[in-house]
Amino acid sequence: MLENMDRTKKIELYLSLALAFAFICYAIAIQFIEYPTEVARDRWVDAEALISGKIPIKEYPPFALVFMLIPRLFSWDCTSYNVAWVIMTLVFTLIGLEITRRIAEQYGYSEVKAMAIYGMLMVILLPFITDHFDIYPAIMCLAAFYFVLKDRPIWAFVLLSLGTLTKVYPAFLILVLLMMYLVRRDWKSIGMGIVVSAITALAVIIPFYLMEPASVTNFLTYNSDRPLEIGSMPATLIYPFSMMGLFDVWILPWDHLPESYGSDDLMGSVPEAVAGIMMPLMVIAVLASILYYGHIRNKRNERSDEKIFLAASGMLIVIMILILFGKVFSSQYLLWAIPFFVLVIITSKNPVFSDRLLKLLVITFLFTEINCGYIYGYLNGGTNIDDLSMILMLARNLLVVYATYMVIREMWNVYENGFSGEELGTNFEYDY
């Protein structure tokens, strides 16, 4: 059978097997570590409640519970549940690999290189993929983008709506998608998108609300009074001033529930005051980024390759603004951005920009892994978090800021100069 496969398909198969091997090794390794994974500590408990007919009251939207339940259907104890969970994250990762290959193929970019970039970035953050559920909405968002390119906007809106009900951030990508249609003055598609999104959301929310109203209402209000998590951009910017003695701060450990909201938080008069304004600032920044995309896209309305690059970039900067302006910056949030970072890299016609961005991402992701190993593996988090930990997190955050700035700047370069050379992206059915 391998003899009849073309080179690209063979490489995709080998990459898939390599990813599977990495995931399997991780599944084996976690059986020998003393630190409990989030899946074993929290998701297993959620799944047990679901299997017994109880709806857990959690901080995330209700569709996330579906992903908690699925591995439980194929397991019998916590260990087998953890393995089943890892397998499910592998399946979603491989789906993302195939979608990336297809976009590269139809855009005219090297499929092998696109898959290699995707696979490398995913492997670097593998512990975060396999111990959280952020990979599920990330791949749903990537699939939604692919369906837009294939002129299937209904499926795109459905997937973004399901992603929103798994992890809230895809709701803002729906706004980016609506902006795409607004630029084209496609009022029919705008109306259809709003209706489809609403119907999808109601189809999920109503059953959960009827079974347990708090499973729907809790996540809507959960973050309103939440303090600054220590890894958040505002927390890491504030902390150095406390090191200089300008004001007092202290760390509230994650296990001091409910005050800590399940994370290590930076407390004090200044962090608490900043936390109170971060949500409106985040909304303003996100809306500004969407308008920025719309402004640039409104001029670049001819070449399909420019449109595809700007669309991927527009979705990416919205995700990055949500991360950087949020009161929480858990390392797994970077998974939200990986599919769109890859798309930006492969759809750019500026090789200097693409190469520099990829190198920066590799450094940032490796730095993230080292930080987490030091802070939570070596120091064990909580009140053990020291000045060095906070400076390391600040350095990581500044790298993320610079990666976001690079994309914003490159969008402006395209706005001013456009792409040169042969037009790419002409194999897609929908010229949006």
Q: Dihedral sign, CA of 114, 118, 121, 123? A: negative
The candidate with the shortest Cα–Cα distance to 136, out of 117, 164, 116, is: 164
Q: Where are the beta strands (DSSP E) in 170-267?
A: 228-229, 250-252, 265-267
Q: In what order do the strands lie in the sheet with 250-252?
A: 228-229, 265-267, 250-252
Q: What is the pLDDT along the chain (432 residues), one digit of tens a residue?
A: 556 667 788 888 888 989 989 888 888 887 776 656 788 778 888 889 889 888 888 888 999 999 999 999 998 888 888 889 999 999 999 999 999 999 999 898 999 999 999 999 999 999 999 989 999 999 999 999 999 999 899 999 999 999 999 999 999 999 999 999 998 888 888 999 999 999 999 999 999 989 888 888 887 777 777 899 999 999 999 999 988 888 889 888 877 777 777 788 999 999 999 999 999 999 999 999 999 999 998 876 678 889 999 999 999 999 999 999 999 998 999 999 999 999 999 999 999 999 999 999 999 999 999 988 888 878 888 788 888 989 999 999 999 999 999 999 999 999 988 888 888 777 776 555
* Residue 358 parent element (H or E): helix 351-372
Half-sphere exposure for 368 (CA within 13 Å, toward CB) = 25
| Among candidate residues 307, 318, 278, the one with its CA nearest the CA of residue 408 | 318
- CA pseudo-torsion sign 213, 219, 224, 225: positive
| Cα distance between residue 340 and residue 31, in whole Å | 33
